[in-house]
């Protein structure tokens, strides 16, 4: 193999406020994911006509080449690493080996660090790869096992006079079409916690629904593991399931459980995209973190996977975060949340909603202050402004070399826990909010619209920002702020184009897709 060179975008620092506890045991088995480039370059945003490929067409042009896979295999053999799995369609090669061998192979400083109450392996510096692999490798993930993302949900204690809605009530308030998502599969990505079938059965019965089809899929050794903590990861998992299932009860729900690492998160997304048995038509993701917490190589690898979803006609809905325009960072600057900032996903922001008799009375930007949470939204520092947002007034991100930036969110819906969703978690009825609820709500709406249209919407951003926006098919939110940004007419970095008017969106999409 040729001399090593730094992998662009791979530099990391050990976490601040962490305690060094030594090196990993030399014989500790570690698994890493090598992400490879496409066989041929994927079409650019401006060139993509949103006509989905069949899976054979996709793998022929978008999988990894035999030569790039062979080069990784040769690298593994040279460094005493085993090839655990090859997925040419997802362009991933999983390598397994001793910590000492992997540290030498990629020339990285691996350390054991105490982060809060957890003992985790982290790395510092740039990953080194042979120059011969430089034109093939996008990212190397899994050397670092710090959490890749946090969930975005907030629990509101039940109080006299509190406002809440069941997902079924929201389908009326937001004027959803009468379909149920029949013959659709909604994929839910989860990085911890679990659900109890008894809770789901009770919840469906309370809403007057038959049992919704829910299946758990294990990825990377993770599985459905309820903790009993309704305010923790269980609340996230159950919120996703109960919102998506109640909105689209005719759909099948596939819940992909994966470890909360960059490699685990990507593996779950790829498992859903390339699931040839369940064939999800829409993916909902309620996890994320500020872009500054990600390496550029990881964001590029995830973005490439979301591009795959678009090429295959799969919609991806992602929460924008619950910490306002700073996204929870303490430097006083505005930050966009990833993966919501990917131009290939539908970024979902949050509102505060008051409704009566199935009609909206008022809807504003969700902002309950620093302790209560607020919708994420802003301008990406990593991704440039996509062509579909050319008509939006998006200021360049501050403090970066970007002259333009991808604006988020794209759309919104109720997320304020003070006007939140009634759910049942670990046997307890509670009101939950957060942009976590918006992603599965929109996923359910997309499943309904897919059924109505008789085809997958997939990546429909050009139509959303074009025909749908032109027909005023969303409820434009013009009041409120998320800290750094304020709501205005048309698109803004708090609530995007607005909250759903389901039937109006469907009518506009029929016009757009008939052209």
d(CA 334, CA 122): 26
Which one of 240, 262, 300, 492 is the catalytic residue?
240
Which one of 144, 145, 190, 236 is the catalytic residue?
236
Helices 435-453 & 233-247 angle (0-180, nearest 10)? 30
Told to judge if 236 belongs to the known catalytic residues of this protein, a careful annotator would answer yes
Told to judge if 240 belongs to the known catalytic residues of this protein, a careful annotator would answer yes
User: Which 8-state DSSP code applies to residue 486?
Assistant: B
Strands, E, within 179-286: which ranges?
185-190, 213-218, 252-257, 282-285
Residue 185, token pair as written in the block: 């599969």
Which one of 103, 436, 451, 499 is the catalytic residue?
436
Closest by CA position to 410, among listed 383, 378, 440: 378
d(CA 60, CA 165): 46
Coil vs helix vs strand at 509: helix
Q: CB of 483 within 8 A of CB of 448?
A: no
User: Which 8-state DSSP code applies to residue 192?
Assistant: S
Q: How, if at all, do strands 4-6 and 128-130 pair?
A: antiparallel
- Provide the phi-psi class of 436: left if phi over 0, else alpha when psi is between -120 and 50, else beta: alpha
Told to judge if 337 belongs to the known catalytic residues of this protein, a careful annotator would answer no
DSSP codes of every residue in 351-374: EEEEEETTEEEEEEE-B--TTT-B
DSSP codes of every residue in 113-176: EEETTEEEEEEEBPPEEEGGGTTTEEEEESS--S---EE--EEE---TT-EEE-HHHHHHHTT-
d(CA 246, CA 204): 7
User: Which 8-state DSSP code applies to residue 434?
Assistant: S
DSSP codes of every residue in 491-507: -BTTTBT-EE-HHHHHH
* Chain position carrying tokens 């109505």: 452
Q: CB of 435 within 8 A of CB of 319?
A: yes
Q: How, if at all, do strands 82-87 and 378-379 pair?
A: unpaired
Q: Annotated active-site positions, please?
A: 236, 240, 436
């Amino acid at each position: 193999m040729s001399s090593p060179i730094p992998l662009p975008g791979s530099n990391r620092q050990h976490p601040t406020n962490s305690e060094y506890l030594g090196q990993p045991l030399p014989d500790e088995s570690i698994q890493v994911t090598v992400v490879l480039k496409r066989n041929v370059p994927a079409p650019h945003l401006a060139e993509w006509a949103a006509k989905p490929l069949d899976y054979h067409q996709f793998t022929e042009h978008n999988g990894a080449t035999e030569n790039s896979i062979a080069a990784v295999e040769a690298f593994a053999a040279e460094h005493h690493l085993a090839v655990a799995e090859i997925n040419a369609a997802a362009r991933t090669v999983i390598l397994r080996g001793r910590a000492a061998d992997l540290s030498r192979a990629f020339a990285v400083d691996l350390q054991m660090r105490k982060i809060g109450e957890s003992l985790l392996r982290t790395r510092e510096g740039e990953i080194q790869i042979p120059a011969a692999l430089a034109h093939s490798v996008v990212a190397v993930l899994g050397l670092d096992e710090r959490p890749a993302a946090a969930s975005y949900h907030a629990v509101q204690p039940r109080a006299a006079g509190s406002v809440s809605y069941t997902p079924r009530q929201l389908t009326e308030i937001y004027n959803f079409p009468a379909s149920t998502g029949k013959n659709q599969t909604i994929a839910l990505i989860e990085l911890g916690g679990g659900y109890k079938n008894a809770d789901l059965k009770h919840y469906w019965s309370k809403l007057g629904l038959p049992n919704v089809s829910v299946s758990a899929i294990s990825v990377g050794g993770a599985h459905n593991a309820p903790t009993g903590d309704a305010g923790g990861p269980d609340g996230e998992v159950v919120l996703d399931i109960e919102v998506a299932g109640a909105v689209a009860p005719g759909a099948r729900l596939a819940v992909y459980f994966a470890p909360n690492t960059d490699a685990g998160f990507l593996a779950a997304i790829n498992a859903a995209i390339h699931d040839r048995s369940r064939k999800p038509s829409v993916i909902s993701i309620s996890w994320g973190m500020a872009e500054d917490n990600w390496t550029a190589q990881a964001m590029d690898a995830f973005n490439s996977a979301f591009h795959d979803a678009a090429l295959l006609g799969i919609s991806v809905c992602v929460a924008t975060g619950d910490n306002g325009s700073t996204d929870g960072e303490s430097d006083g600057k505005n930050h966009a949340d990833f993966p919501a900032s990917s131009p290939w996903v539908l970024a979902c922001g949050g509102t505060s909603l008051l409704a009566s008799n199935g009609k909206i009375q008022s809807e504003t930007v969700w902002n309950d202050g620093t302790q209560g949470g607020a919708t994420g939204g802003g301008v990406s520092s990593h991704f440039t402004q996509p062509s579909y947002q050319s008509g939006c007034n998006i200021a360049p991100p501050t403090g970066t070399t970007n002259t333009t930036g991808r604006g988020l969110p794209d759309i919104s819906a109720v997320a304020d826990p003070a006007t939140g969703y009634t759910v049942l978690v670990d046997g307890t009825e509670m009101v939950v909010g957060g942009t976590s609820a918006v992603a599965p709500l929109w996923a359910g709406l997309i499943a309904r619209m897919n059924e109505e249209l008789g085809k997958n919407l997939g990546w429909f951003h050009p139509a959303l920002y074009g025909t749908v926006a032109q027909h005023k098919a969303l409820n434009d939110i013009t009041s409120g702020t998320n800290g750094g940004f304020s709501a205005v007419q048309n698109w803004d970095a708090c609530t995007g184009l607005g909250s759903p008017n389901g039937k109006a969106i469907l009518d506009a999409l029929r016009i757009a897709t008939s052209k």
